[in-house]
Structure 1
Amino acid sequence: MRDFRKPYGLIVVGGNEQPIELKDVQITCSVLNLTSNVTTKFTYKNQHSQQVQGSFVFPLEDVAVYDFEAEVDGRKIVAKCRPRAEAKTTYDEAVASGHAAFLAEQEEHCEDVFQMSIGNIPPNGTVIIQLKYVGHLQCENTDGNGSSKSQAVFTLPSVINPRYSPADSAIKSEFEPFAKAVSMNSCTYSLSFEAILLMPEDITVVRSERDTYSVEFSTEGRKSAKVKMTSTFKPDHDLQMVIQMSGQLSSFGICEPGDPGQTGILGKDCLMAQFMPNFSEFEDIQEQRNEVYFVVDRSGSMHGSNIEHASSSLLLFLKSLPAGCRFQIIGFGSGHNCLFQEPTDYNETSLERALQYQREMTANMGGTQVLPALKTAFDSPLSGQGWYKQIVFLTDGDVSNADEVIGLVSANVDKGRLFAIGIGEGCSTNLVSGVARAGRGMAAFIRDNAQMHGAVMKILKEALQPRASEISVKWSVTKKNASGTASPVNVISIPTKVPPVFAGRFLTMYGILPEEGQFAELSGEVVLEYEILGTKYSLRIDMASVQLHQSQPDKTDVPIHRLAGKCQMTELSDKYKAELMRDPEKSKSDEAKSLRSQIEQLSCAINVLSIFTGLVGVDPVKQEIPAEAPAPAPAPPPMFCRSMPIRHYMCMAKTAPRVVGSAGFGCSNMAASIAAAPRSAGFLGFGGKKKASKSVLFGRSRVAESAAGACVRESLPQSAVSREAPLIADATGEVDFEEKKSVESPLLKLVELQNIAGFWNLVEDLAKCINLSLDSLQKLQPKTWSASYSQAVTDRVWATALVLAYLHSKLSASLDEWELVGKKAKAWLIQQASMFEKSPPTAKKLVDGLIEQAKLVVNK
């Protein structure tokens, strides 16, 4: 393995391409009511003797960026949200006239990518940049080993992978592409992360797969704590904080008072209702007449462990499908192919063909053309009346046209539901979360491949659980008037279309009150209503239980208001994308213009960044020291690269000399990842050393040297790519061949051995999986089901009971991975017992007793 050092930061492009020194990064986070309010502050020192300009690119998840400030030589400048063209003009004119200025923008096609530009940084001057944003933690209730608990996950992205850009785009670019970086030597800086937690249940542990935290609990109990990162952060992964709690989360409501100094939405009181549905009575019921589509990313960027885990996850998928469903597998890369001509019945023949596909599946299909693959899944006609389409989409998310893909899903949501799984560090959260939201499904992110099987099976479980329909939220809220009588309050509900209902996952709604200062006078309730399998259900939040949300440390932040506004902008944006994908020419239609205008106006009103706006600030003090004459512009890319579309990240680079960097924290791995696509380049500016594994596109130290090669590789037709093993060349011309690993895990081997009906055969391979000899298993096999029954225990019945006993006794920590497989096996055992015992409870009791006997064997 070769050590490629690719640190990047704020640097001067052209001339000597020297870095601007990053001195310090401070990240503070306040977690309250399962929302996070984050402040990121980073300090740069311009060590050069002339004014310079800079820009850097960084990733964020689905958050509301509402504050952007800069301090230049002691002067504080606060940015305001303005229409994007106006903000850019303000910035350019300020820089041209000698003023220090700064600008924040959001990538119009990939909304999890942001860019900051800083103009006229004074010579030997210090610039402190502060960014604030608010978001939701990813929360869920979990059941395991007989205990009920919950967890909330905070993620700060620090990685963006290079993103494949299709040659043709339905949604055209309106704004300039973001700057690209050039690699430089590393700079030394400090990074700190601290969080204040106030959780609804007692905290049991705060952990991370890659980082270490200290936790100091308050004197009032374990619901409140101060968390501090104690390990040295490395920029090869996203910063994540998993907060585990001892109890289960339940529905709750909060109210955030408006800011008295603001007009419009920010000045009014805002309610947030968090509903937590419980489907425990449907635990053993799965939706019938499902068509399940597995749409699997097989592009070159999935090589290595990603495709191996995707393959083993597909094995779990296939063995966990219920009887009576139909299924289809679509693999995609530069092109896509379907395993069957149409969704086919789930039987032994189709399963064996699918398993052969799974065993041979490699990342050998070139680029990442997501759009045609998903369009094929949506356009495929249903099997008939009463069937329902469920699409499970698995990808590393490395595409630049997320807006088109989200628009496609939004335009086709009436044809089926879509669930998305993002794999690896740097996966596009905008793409994965966006398509799941638009497809009224759920999203999961696997940043550590060890988590993949469990997360994937949770998604399948959610796809197969009974669907909730007729979903509505009613704000039955009243206010006492002067005469003492109650009158209804007209609450503005956000979003306008209620999100889907899933067990153990929060459904979030916001309500804007028509007058400020009303909360104390309100009574009534907020009610979520839905229907499952013909039965109506409701969840209620009484206004008497609603608590005040006191944002810290600045009450003018009003983070719940910003989240409500962001939610409304997202809903409008999804409609806008769907409108364009139905007909690209509709960008000029009255509907599209209205949606765009609403997003722009709301963005400016609540000072939350959108793709149609920019946050811009200008230092009123003009710099007197002239900037040095700019260095000559770098040479343009080769001619065959110039023919690529403007958004083709692998080829395009700005030619005007300027300061660019890959991330706000100064020393990350953006440039070579854009030029030559190494996997999981550190990106949020955390910067540092990166070890690159084999089978990746290793970049050289300059964009110009490797951009051409990257374009050639990415434009290879699908026919030119090996179907046996992906051919992946690095920038030095080396080629690596990816070899498919065989199934080694005992769990995966057991799953592989399971019959489609749910049983196992008592064979040598099974005995090896549970670490016992076949001879001993046969000798310990009971003759009958129990002393009261004469029916013999067959080899298949005994083998199935043994496997279930082994799973519960030895692999209980992996319950999420084998739960559906186990349910299928137990259902088969109950079916066998029901052949001679007609009472369902008694048949189930016989099965449980047999499994207990088997536990005595596997635990010896």
Structure 2
Amino acid sequence: MMVNCCGLLTSQKEPVPLKSVEVELEVRDHVATVVSTLSYENKEDKPLEAVFVFPLPGDAAVCHFSAQIGQMQIVAEVKEKQEAREEYDDALSSGQQAFLLEESEQSPDIFSLSVGSLPPGESASIRLEYVTELAVQADDGLRFCLPAVLNPRYQPQGSGGGEGGNVQVTSVQVTSVPASLVPYSLSFSARVSSPRPVSKVESNCPLDPLQYLNTEQTQTTVKLAAGHKFDRDVELLIYYKDAHQPTAVVEAGRASSEPGTLMGDPVMMLSLYPEFPQAVMSSVASCGEFVFLLDRSGSMQGARMKSAMDTLLLLLKSLPMGCYFNIHSFGSSYEHIFPESVEYNQKTMEEALKNVAEMKANLGGTEILKPLKHIYSQPCIPSQPRQLFVFTDGEVGNTKDVINLVKQNSGSHRCFSFGIGEGASSALINGLAKEGGGHAQFITGTDRMQPKVMQSLRFALQPAVQDISVKWDLPKGVSVIDLSPPITALFQGQRSLVYAQLTGQGSEASEGCVTVRYSLAGHPSQNQLHFSLKPAEDTGLTVHRLAARTLIRSLEMEKREWRGQEDGGDKKKKVVELSVQSGVSSAFTAFIAVNKGNSEVIQGPLVRRNVPTPMVMACGMRRQCVPMSYDASPVMNMMALRQAEPCSLKKRSLPKQPPRDPLLQLVSLQKASGCWVLDPDLAAALGKTSEEVEKPKPASVNQEVWATILALIWLHGFKMDAQEEWELLAMKAVSWLQAQKASCVTECVDAGNALLGCTVQKDVLGL
């Protein structure tokens, strides 16, 4: 019999009941509310159970889940997870329609949605709502990401859940297909409003033009251009004028909840932007232990790996003399260049760069826990604060174990994380930075990795802020319960969020004040914010739900420390109570909806259909080598991925290597001390012959001084668009020049400008 291949089919030639996903985003200042509507239709002659495993932002608070069948709407309740599963199974076995939404216990950015007993010919519309804070990028843009792509998460053996290339959410496994074969459509629209004007909205996907809704330009709408394919995460970057304004929002409690409870009392959300003294900020730390941890799993192959290697070159050239460093890399196993961190000098820098040049994405799976444990097992170096930089495409299944390890070691280091490519786990990348007191960056699409990494290096070179405390000054009769974990890291201009529950009664018109005190480079400093206690209008319960999510996540992180403790059960009970009370999802609860109004029992055996999720094929891999479905044996899946053959190994002539980026060519010639040497390689990088470069050198000037001034002029004259990438290594070059106390600097700059055809002023170079 021929198989009928019409309609929407999975890779197993099964019809797909999910027809479309419609997403509406509302951004108010830095808080996003997202409503997703998933439309299902059963075109088969048997009743179906449709199972869809999909990603959400890792810090999202899922707060509403409902199903519309014909004219009937069923709103789901939050219940303890096992109870919800049993209720779902009971409903299906008795022929009722039921809907179950649950969060993965291993990774809070993966959810499973089960649509049970959809009769032949029936349609259902599922509405899912969540709220999330938008992270501030280093260029002050607020980043919203709608994760569309769910890549296979590598689950190390013995860590619970699945293993190999499967994503396992509870008992559910994911079917993945290449993004180009996703059989349902996506539409996406956004509305942005803020007290400050919206200056621009950018995206990695084509957008229709921005539509401003008022003359002040504080409200705007934007949507994805027609024809968007579900082949990448949808990333929006929103820029406000004067973004760095501290704000305070007080939200009234829910009238139906008891005073004294989280949902019954007013809750406050503070956004604090510390401003450090200029004198402190202009100095760059000249010490530190810089540990770079690079993902070399198979999925990093191709452009990701090349970009990471170029980035390591810039990082190594930008480190201050006198610091310590090491480079670790990992896949299924892990390696390091030096047995322990070494002092940074010309010899160690050259040895590291030689090793980096030979690195390939050939270490198999993504086991990040073991190399982290190895790094933390090494004693810290006195007076050299440890700074850890983690580069990964974020495809791990044991996210919570990894984040918890970073949290346990947060007192000894700062962790800066970089999510590379589509489908990088936001829960992992944001969690590493949050628990490690650092900063998270995401590098997607055609983004250059280098500017973002160098921005984070600048943060790492800021003095560490110590002894952070938050003091409240409130009217008589009002007290505060902190809902956020203590602030562990502050960076110049970076936002810190604080949630607090206000208890007791104060006069309506009263004001409060919060003071953040800290020590910076040995000097006591403070930032203060005065705010009104009058509740904001029309916020729904967004702030309460975000506060509940913050508290739930803190308690779940502690769960790893409960094992074997007598009060572990009580703490889990507290999470369940808080989740049920606030209507916000957690690892221990699920949303359950049963259609009890349907008197007809659905007849016949239930057929399960897994809805495929888009995944991005690793760059440089032969497409036919990668299994399109991850329902097969996990071990076979991992073998297939590891054996995926790079395109360049096909039996044909190898493509010519593209010429090296001129900036990286020049940077690669800089010495660890910051200077350049006058040689044929430098002349070639500057686009000149050796004779052309040597001839105009003033007679009394040292060759290295002349070479270094030429390199600085070239950077300022031709590469200002990439200044963020070379700024730190140029500062090092200027420091080296100043230490030489060279004469004739003005003469050198004039001669260098004439040679290179530039007009760069001496003071612009910092000389």
Residue 658 of structure 1 aligns to a residue in which SS? strand
- Is 1:710 paired with 2:637? yes
- Is 1:619 paired with 2:595? yes
- Once the two structures are superposed, residues 276-311 of structure 1 have per-residue CA deviations (whole angstroms, 9 ceiling, x without a partner) of 123443333233441111111111221111111111
TM norm structure 2? 0.89
Partner residue, 2:508: 520
Residue 569 of structure 1 aligns to a residue in which SS? helix
Equivalent residues in 2 for 1:829-844, closer than 5 Å: 829-833=737-741
Aligned-pair distance for 1:858? 3.8
- Measure, in 2, the Cα distance between the counterparts of 1:499 and 1:153: 22
Equivalent residues in 2 for 1:105-184, closer than 5 Å: 105-140=102-137, 142=139, 150-169=140-159, 176-181=170-175
- Is 1:435 paired with 2:432? yes
Is this contact kept in 1: 2:698–2:747, CA < 8 A? no
Among 462, 483, 492, the residue aligned to 1:503: 492
- Measure, in 1, the Cα distance between the counterparts of 2:629 and 2:213: 50
Partner residue, 1:760: 676
Among 13, 17, 20, the residue aligned to 2:14: 17
Among 610, 616, 622, the residue aligned to 1:660: 610
Query: Taking structure 1 as reference, are residues 496 and 769 closer, same or farther at Cα in structure 2, changes over 3 Å only?
Result: same
Return 71-80 or 279-288, whichever deviates more: 279-288
Residue 54 of structure 1 aligns to a residue in which SS? strand
Partner residue, 2:578: 602
Aligned-pair distance for 1:187? 7.9
Partner residue, 2:706: 798
- Is 1:79 paired with 2:72? no
Residue 153 of structure 1 aligns to a residue in which SS? strand
- Is 1:194 paired with 2:192? no
- Once the two structures are superposed, residues 673-706 of structure 1 have per-residue CA deviations (whole angstroms, 9 ceiling, x without a partner) of xxxxx626xxxxxxxxxxx853467345665677
Aligned-pair distance for 1:415? 2.9
Is this contact kept in 2: 1:319–1:756, CA < 8 A? yes
Residue 556 of structure 2 aligns to a residue in which SS? helix
- Measure, in 2, the Cα distance between the counterparts of 1:756 and 1:391: 20
Q: Which stretches in structure 2 are left out of the alignment for 5+ residues?
A: 759-767
- Once the two structures are superposed, residues 246-298 of structure 1 have per-residue CA deviations (whole angstroms, 9 ceiling, x without a partner) of 44422222222223233432232221111112344333323344111111111
- Once the two structures are superposed, residues 343-374 of structure 1 have per-residue CA deviations (whole angstroms, 9 ceiling, x without a partner) of 11111111111011111111111222211100
TM norm structure 1? 0.80
Partner residue, 1:31: 27
Partner residue, 2:762: none
- Is 1:698 paired with 2:625? yes
Query: Taking structure 1 as reference, are residues 535 and 565 closer, same or farther at Cα in structure 2, changes over 3 Å only?
Result: same
Return 702-711 or 265-274, whichever deviates more: 702-711
1:530 aligned partner, one-letter code: Y
Is this contact kept in 1: 2:173–2:631, CA < 8 A? no
Residue 669 of structure 1 aligns to a residue in which SS? strand
1:178 aligned partner, one-letter code: V
- Is 1:335 paired with 2:251? no
Residue 817 of structure 1 aligns to a residue in which SS? helix
Return 107-116 or 243-252, whichever deviates more: 243-252
Among 733, 747, 751, the residue aligned to 2:663: 747
Residue 93 of structure 1 aligns to a residue in which SS? helix
Partner residue, 2:359: 361
Partner residue, 1:568: 551
- Measure, in 1, the Cα distance between the counterparts of 2:479 and 2:17: 53
Query: Taking structure 1 as reference, are residues 321 and 77 closer, same or farther at Cα in structure 2, changes over 3 Å only?
Result: same
Residue 620 of structure 1 aligns to a residue in which SS? coil
1:561 aligned partner, one-letter code: H
- Once the two structures are superposed, residues 111-160 of structure 1 have per-residue CA deviations (whole angstroms, 9 ceiling, x without a partner) of 11101111111321221111111111122464xxxxxxx32221111111
Q: CA RMSD in A?
A: 3.3
1:176 aligned partner, one-letter code: T
2:702 aligned partner, one-letter code: T
- Measure, in 1, the Cα distance between the counterparts of 2:32 and 2:7: 28
- Once the two structures are superposed, residues 224-260 of structure 1 have per-residue CA deviations (whole angstroms, 9 ceiling, x without a partner) of 2111222422222110111234444222222222232
Aligned-pair distance for 1:766? 2.7
Residue 34 of structure 2 aligns to a residue in which SS? strand
Query: Taking structure 1 as reference, are residues 181 and 820 closer, same or farther at Cα in structure 2, changes over 3 Å only?
Result: same
- Measure, in 1, the Cα distance between the counterparts of 2:496 and 2:750: 39
- Is 1:669 paired with 2:614? yes
Residue 447 of structure 2 aligns to a residue in which SS? helix
Partner residue, 1:839: none
Is this contact kept in 2: 1:11–1:54, CA < 8 A? no
Residue 191 of structure 1 aligns to a residue in which SS? strand
Is this contact kept in 2: 1:11–1:20, CA < 8 A? no
2:522 aligned partner, one-letter code: G
Return 197-206 or 182-191, whichever deviates more: 182-191
Partner residue, 1:679: 617
Query: Taking structure 1 as reference, are residues 55 and 329 closer, same or farther at Cα in structure 2, changes over 3 Å only?
Result: same
Query: Taking structure 1 as reference, are residues 359 and 190 closer, same or farther at Cα in structure 2, changes over 3 Å only?
Result: closer
Among 718, 732, 738, the residue aligned to 1:810: 718
Is this contact kept in 2: 1:99–1:621, CA < 8 A? no
Identical amino acids, percent of aligned pairs: 30
- Is 1:229 paired with 2:224? yes
1:180 aligned partner, one-letter code: V
- Measure, in 1, the Cα distance between the counterparts of 2:563 and 2:6: 40
1:192 aligned partner, one-letter code: S
Partner residue, 1:386: 383
1:629 aligned partner, one-letter code: P
Is this contact kept in 2: 1:81–1:614, CA < 8 A? yes
Is this contact kept in 2: 1:377–1:391, CA < 8 A? no
Query: Taking structure 1 as reference, are residues 386 and 454 closer, same or farther at Cα in structure 2, changes over 3 Å only?
Result: same
Is this contact kept in 2: 1:332–1:373, CA < 8 A? yes
Residue 39 of structure 1 aligns to a residue in which SS? strand
Equivalent residues in 2 for 1:485-496, closer than 5 Å: 487=476, 489-496=478-485
Equivalent residues in 2 for 1:37-116, closer than 5 Å: 37-61=33-57, 62-116=59-113
2:173 aligned partner, one-letter code: A
- Measure, in 1, the Cα distance between the counterparts of 2:624 and 2:680: 43
Is this contact kept in 1: 2:155–2:161, CA < 8 A? no
- Measure, in 1, the Cα distance between the counterparts of 2:563 and 2:162: 10
Is this contact kept in 2: 1:63–1:133, CA < 8 A? yes
Partner residue, 2:765: none
- Measure, in 2, the Cα distance between the counterparts of 1:547 and 1:446: 40
Query: Taking structure 1 as reference, are residues 296 and 740 closer, same or farther at Cα in structure 2, changes over 3 Å only?
Result: farther
Is this contact kept in 2: 1:389–1:415, CA < 8 A? yes
Is this contact kept in 1: 2:204–2:234, CA < 8 A? no
1:260 aligned partner, one-letter code: A
Partner residue, 1:684: none
- Once the two structures are superposed, residues 695-729 of structure 1 have per-residue CA deviations (whole angstroms, 9 ceiling, x without a partner) of 46734566567766324356x8xxxxxxxxxx634
1:167 aligned partner, one-letter code: Q
Aligned length: 744
